[in-house]
Structure 1
């Protein structure tokens, strides 16, 4: 039976407050999506988010206020690779004790196929493991785990949408991992985004080199309930110093600044740098002035993030 309330009764009702699972963009009862092209780092990001939420930790610029239960549904990773990445994340955080509140469903554990989450039968199989102690469900990724839908058909998406909305009604949060389409937006029907609180796109920096490993720009395409500095894009980089890995999160303006300083010290003109970096000359002038004020212009060698510069940078072990 459909429940209806008049406005006065509705405003008098008390609902549980909407907290944040991961500040600032992943709320309780939240529906969110991360999308990127293949090989950029979606699974790295998703696993690190799962670990941060489970341990009440920090990842990039985001913080989990407390420990919460996570169900990670992986659709394509070999179990050995998944183990390596999880162990790597533990090492980054300096943890020796394995968190007991992350549950994992992955193909190599199954005797048959993974459930198709676009079907009621597949959803029912997973629902059995979405217990009271699970706060966040991560689905990595839609193409593998909802394989019977036609991504460009909005009506097909309804089968997934109804399920994730039912999870939200149970105060569960869902993070969907998806592929980007040809235009850079999430692949398939745009209707997916209608019910989502947050949509994050990962993309390669223009000067990315394959030898660098995991390095990407994080952009918020939809930001419900947060704004300003919290919603600004930034660059994330996985760095390795003497065998110890950590993530570096840096504002786009600061990464551009370091590039300008480096190129100026290599003897390039401001006009040449503007063409090289595809930014306006006024921006080059601003960065050049800052570099002179901070005593970095004219130094013999400047190498990317190795420069000790006062800026908004966060390094997450």
Structure 2
């Protein structure tokens, strides 16, 4: 008992606190974006998807972009960073094939820098008698932590939770504690971490207890996009279910796929997803500031023909009623003419509801 208390007292003595005055006056180092604006040094992110959707292709592309100062889906590494990629299940030959394809697919990649800065710790590359790190155990955590510190890694990618964490029941909140402790330790060390994970059976969220989500600055879900053909099974809709950082036009629901270029190499292509685009349309229309299709189309960055299609789809899906669209257009025109504007959509909806009785 005494030893435990003494040890606890020693640990407590090592903890540091500071006053508000100290915090306000201290000069803290500026944390670089590893991929701007997706994540900074020392932050953590979860990337989840169902099997076969393309989460490993996405994770490897992030690793390459970070290690080689490239860009993935609009997220740019300002300079090359050191990256440790831990893979728990893929055959080494398959991993090589994917990286060969992706080194040409990642925009602006410095291949020589990536070759130097990206290191891979792969289970299939080990002796069968060697134990591979388990991030749910202190020993496994220390192995990865020591490797990362030894190479001065800025980013560690863990692919994937199910094969790297020996957790009996992923739905048990308490079973997540060791993994959370490890992720928080990496934050304390200033090492960014990406955890690749599987989706639940419905494919609508990540698998297991929601407690695992507490430490992440960002959570990204990938869902299969059957409308885009990709011979490398990497065509998905990407959505943020959590994001604490600074948003710009790249932090949106996105459709992404690998497309073959004229020279036979593959390139990542992406665009705002239809759901996100429809959401922007409806939001702008409801401001009642656009009396002409041309002005609304310009604000959206689309042609008037494309706007017409988006309008029809939004109305067909019930995102906005046709009378409400018309009312907002007329209100905008009235405002431009100096006349009294029509009631806004919310007020009009209330009036319609009262008139129903």
Distance in 2 of aligned mates of 1:96 and 1:14 = 35
Q: Which residue of 2 aligns with 1:64?
A: 77
Q: Which residue of 2 aligns with 1:108?
A: 124
Give the alignment partner of residue 215 of structure 2, picking from 180, 195, 206: 195
Equivalent residue runs for 1:27-66 within 5 Å:
27-66=40-79
Is 1:149–1:157's contact at 8 Å kept on the other side of the alignment? no
Higher relative contact order (CA 8 A, sep 6+): 1
Equivalent residue runs for 1:132-281 within 5 Å:
133-183=152-202, 184-205=204-225, 207=227, 213-242=233-262, 243-253=264-274, 274=313
Give the alignment partner of residue 124 of structure 1, picking from 139, 142, 147: 142
Is 2:85–2:120's contact at 8 Å kept on the other side of the alignment? yes
Larger radius of gyration: 2
Q: Given the two structures, how large is their TM-score scaled by the length of structure 2? A: 0.69
Distance in 2 of aligned mates of 1:214 and 1:46 = 11
Distance in 1 of aligned mates of 2:241 and 2:123 = 31
Is 2:226–2:235's contact at 8 Å kept on the other side of the alignment? no
CA deviation digits over 1:136-176, x for unaligned, max 9? 00000001000235211111111011111111111110001
Aligned pair in 2 of structure 1 residues 281, 211: CA closer, same or farther (>3 Å)? farther
Distance in 1 of aligned mates of 2:176 and 2:134 = 13
Aligned pair in 2 of structure 1 residues 100, 189: CA closer, same or farther (>3 Å)? same
Aligned pair in 2 of structure 1 residues 212, 90: CA closer, same or farther (>3 Å)? closer
- For the aligned residues, what is the CA RMSD? 3.0
Aligned pair in 2 of structure 1 residues 52, 154: CA closer, same or farther (>3 Å)? same
Unpaired stretches in structure 1, ≥5 consecutive residues: 258-263, 265-269, 287-317
Q: How many residues align?
A: 274
SS in 1 for 2:220: strand
Distance in 2 of aligned mates of 1:216 and 1:237 = 6
Aligned pair in 2 of structure 1 residues 124, 100: CA closer, same or farther (>3 Å)? same
Distance in 2 of aligned mates of 1:168 and 1:281 = 44
Is 2:43–2:217's contact at 8 Å kept on the other side of the alignment? yes
Distance in 1 of aligned mates of 2:187 and 2:268 = 31
Distance in 2 of aligned mates of 1:153 and 1:49 = 30
Distance in 1 of aligned mates of 2:216 and 2:222 = 17
Aligned pair in 2 of structure 1 residues 21, 8: CA closer, same or farther (>3 Å)? same
Q: Which residue of 1 aligns with 2:90?
A: 77
Q: Given the two structures, how large is their TM-score scaled by the length of structure 1? A: 0.77
Distance in 1 of aligned mates of 2:201 and 2:174 = 21
Is 2:135–2:141's contact at 8 Å kept on the other side of the alignment? yes
Is 1:199–1:220's contact at 8 Å kept on the other side of the alignment? yes
Shift of 1:109: 1.4
Q: Which residue of 2 aligns with 1:312?
A: none
SS in 2 for 1:128: helix
SS in 2 for 1:203: strand
SS in 1 for 2:250: helix
